[in-house]
Amino acid sequence: MLFQNLTRSSGARRVGAIAALTLSVALVATGCAATDEPGAEGGGDANLAITFVPKNLGNAYFDTSDKGGAEAIEEFGGTYDEQAPAEGTPDGQVSFINTLTQQGVGGLAVSANDPTAICDALNEAREANVKVVTFDSDTDPECRDIFINQATGEGIAKIQVDLIAEQIGDEGQIAILSATANATNQNAWIELMKADLEANHPNIELVDVVYGDDDDQTSFDKTAALLQTYPELKGIVSPTTVGIAAAARYLQTSDFKGKVALTGLGTPNQMRDYVTDGTVTAFALWNPADLGYLAAYAAKALIEGEITGAEGDEFEAGKLGDYTVGENGTVLLGDPYTFNADNIADFDF
């Protein structure tokens, strides 16, 4: 009986294995011989299908920027889509970029989680004739055609340092609550902030930089940990809208409300409550909707061949007017703006 079982199963197994090999070969042959559908409809009419790939989903800042992009795309008659991973990891964006390359979109507007991790995917996309615009957080310049910067890095860093210095009397301990550890823009701004502090604010000590991963719960818990670990802390700077909102929410119900200053980059809608009740005095940002809007128009200009991303190229961006491409393929949106109790009621984003 045992022997029979062995024969039966091993015989069937051998045949099964051969069948498996045949079928695998068939699969491979299918792939090889398949008709090569063009990856992107290049040539003739412009493909104005533009997809936004922000750092992650569920982030109010990107909701606004992508809505701005959608508005622009509707204006010039293209197709809008938004794809992003749930968590802001560097490799998370790669599979979406790959899929979009396969689907043959016309252009991508990406806010990168890491300067180099998505480079290969982006370059593959560009080889397939997809135009790549980065906004908000850049990659290496070799991987993209144009970068839409919301403001100069120095300006963004300076305004936050100025705000916190003003709020704590220009001396004491501060900490930074950042987003993810790899984000290009965060790291750029943090370096500039450190330089500014060293040069202009010798009495302010930066004790720690913690990462909330642009996740609300993590940022919330990290704020609590900061306040406990550094009892002398006088201020927190959070250059990310998710971080500052979570930190404000924690401060609002803690003993430290009013004693520890909080500033950074936040959206008026999220921060309105906290400014009204005094948890936060002032914070800064720009208009993310304008950022997305400009990115969409830049993509359009690239797709239609109007510009190539070289320095000096000019293109028009709907209601925002005309823009010129600067050094390194960068386009500057404008200057950051300070929100406080006086003007926060005027904005809705």
Partner 1 sequence: MTTLTTSTTDSFGTRVLHGLGGFAKARETGILLAFVLVVAAATIKNPNFLFSADGFRDLLLTPSILLLVAVGQAVVIITRNVDLSVGSTLGLTAYMTGRLFIDFPGIPIIVVFVAGILFGGLLGLVNGALVAFAKVPALVITLGTLYIYRGINVAWTGSDRINASDMPKDFLGLGTAQILYIPVLTIIALIVLIAAGWYMRNQRGGRELYAIGSDPGAAQLYGLKVTQRVLVAFVVCGALAGLAGVLYAARYGTINSQAGSGFELEAVGAAVIGGVAIFGGSGTVWGAAIGAFLLFTINRALPILGVQDFWQRAVVGALIIGAIVLDRLLALRQTRKLVEARDND
Partner 2 sequence: MAVARNYKDYGSALWKRIFLTRESAVFAGLIIVIIVASVSVKHFAAPITMTYLLLDITPILLLALPMTLVIITGEIDLSVASTAALASVTLGTLHQGGMPLEAAALVAIIVGAIAGALNGFLITVVGLPSLAVTIGTLALYRGLAVGLLGTTAVTDFTEFWKDLAKSKIGATAIPSVVILVIVLAIVFAIVLHFTQFGRGIFAIGLSPEAARFSGVHVERTKFILFVLSGGVAALAGIFYTLRFSSARGDNQTGLELAVIAAVLLGGVSIFGGKGALHGVLAGVLLIGTLGSALRLASVTSDVINIITGTLLVASVVSTSVLAWIRSKRSKPGGRKPETVPATKS
User: Which residues are at the interface with partner 1 (CB under 8 A)?
Assistant: 57-58, 63, 82, 84, 86-87, 215-217, 220-221, 224-225, 227-229, 231, 245-246, 249, 253-256, 270, 273
Say which entry of partner 2, partner 1, none residue 139 contacts (CB below 5 to 8 A, set by partner kind).
Answer: none
Instruction: Measure the CA–CA gap between 293 and 141, rounded to whole angstroms.
Output: 21
- The yes or no reply on residue 15 touching partner 2 (CB under 8 A) is yes
291 versus 331: smaller Cβ distance to partner 1: 291
Task: Report the candidate in 336, 347, 43 with the shortest Cα–Cα distance to residue 185.
Answer: 336
Q: E strand or H helix at 35, and its extent? A: none
Say which entry of partner 2, partner 1, none residue 239 contacts (CB below 5 to 8 A, set by partner kind).
Answer: none
CB of 140 to partner 2, least distance (A): 10
Instruction: Measure the CA–CA gap between 193 and 135, rounded to whole angstroms.
Output: 21
Say which entry of partner 1, partner 2, none residue 11 contacts (CB below 5 to 8 A, set by partner kind).
Answer: partner 2
67 versus 144: smaller Cβ distance to partner 1: 67
Interface segment toward partner 2; rule CB under 8 A; list 36-44, 164-172, 288-296, 311-319? 36-44
Say which entry of partner 1, partner 2, none residue 217 contacts (CB below 5 to 8 A, set by partner kind).
Answer: partner 1
CB of 271 to partner 2, least distance (A): 26
Q: Residue 165's beta-bridge partner residues? A: none
Q: Residue 211's beta-bridge partner residues? A: 178
Q: E strand or H helix at 182, and its extent? A: none
112 versus 159: smaller Cβ distance to partner 2: 112
CB 302 within 8 A of CB 107: yes
Say which entry of partner 1, partner 2, none residue 228 contacts (CB below 5 to 8 A, set by partner kind).
Answer: partner 1
DSSP for 299-336? HHHHHTTS--S-TT-EEE-GGG-EEE--GGGEEE----
- The yes or no reply on residue 335 touching partner 2 (CB under 8 A) is no
Instruction: Measure the CA–CA gap between 178 and 138, rounded to whole angstroms.
Output: 17
57 versus 117: smaller Cβ distance to partner 1: 57
Phi, psi angle pair for 278, to nearest 5°: 90, 0
- The yes or no reply on residue 141 touching partner 2 (CB under 8 A) is no
Say which entry of partner 2, partner 1, none residue 103 contacts (CB below 5 to 8 A, set by partner kind).
Answer: partner 2
Cα dihedral: 40, 41, 43, 45 (round 10):
-140
- The yes or no reply on residue 39 touching partner 2 (CB under 8 A) is yes
Q: E strand or H helix at 42, and its extent? A: none
- The yes or no reply on residue 120 touching partner 2 (CB under 8 A) is yes
Which burial class, exposed, middle or buried, applies to 46 when counting CB atoms under 10 A from its CB (0-12, 13-18, 19+)? middle
Locate tokens 């406080």: which residue?
340
- The yes or no reply on residue 31 touching partner 2 (CB under 8 A) is yes
Q: Provide the 3-class DSSP secondary structure of residue 232.
A: coil
- The yes or no reply on residue 35 touching partner 2 (CB under 8 A) is yes
CB of 272 to partner 1, least distance (A): 9
DSSP classification of residue 90 = T
CB of 184 to partner 1, least distance (A): 21
Q: Provide the 3-class DSSP secondary structure of residue 208.
A: strand
Q: Provide the 3-class DSSP secondary structure of residue 228.
A: helix
Structure tokens given for 30: 């299918």
98 versus 338: smaller Cβ distance to partner 2: 98
Say which entry of partner 2, partner 1, none residue 225 contacts (CB below 5 to 8 A, set by partner kind).
Answer: partner 1
Instruction: Measure the CA–CA gap between 253 and 222, rounded to whole angstroms.
Output: 15
- The yes or no reply on residue 94 touching partner 2 (CB under 8 A) is yes
- Residue ranges that bind partner 2, judged by CB under 8 A: 4, 8, 10-13, 15-17, 19-20, 23-24, 27-28, 30-32, 34-37, 39, 81, 85-86, 89-91, 94-95, 98-99, 101-104, 114-117, 119-120, 128, 180-182, 211, 213
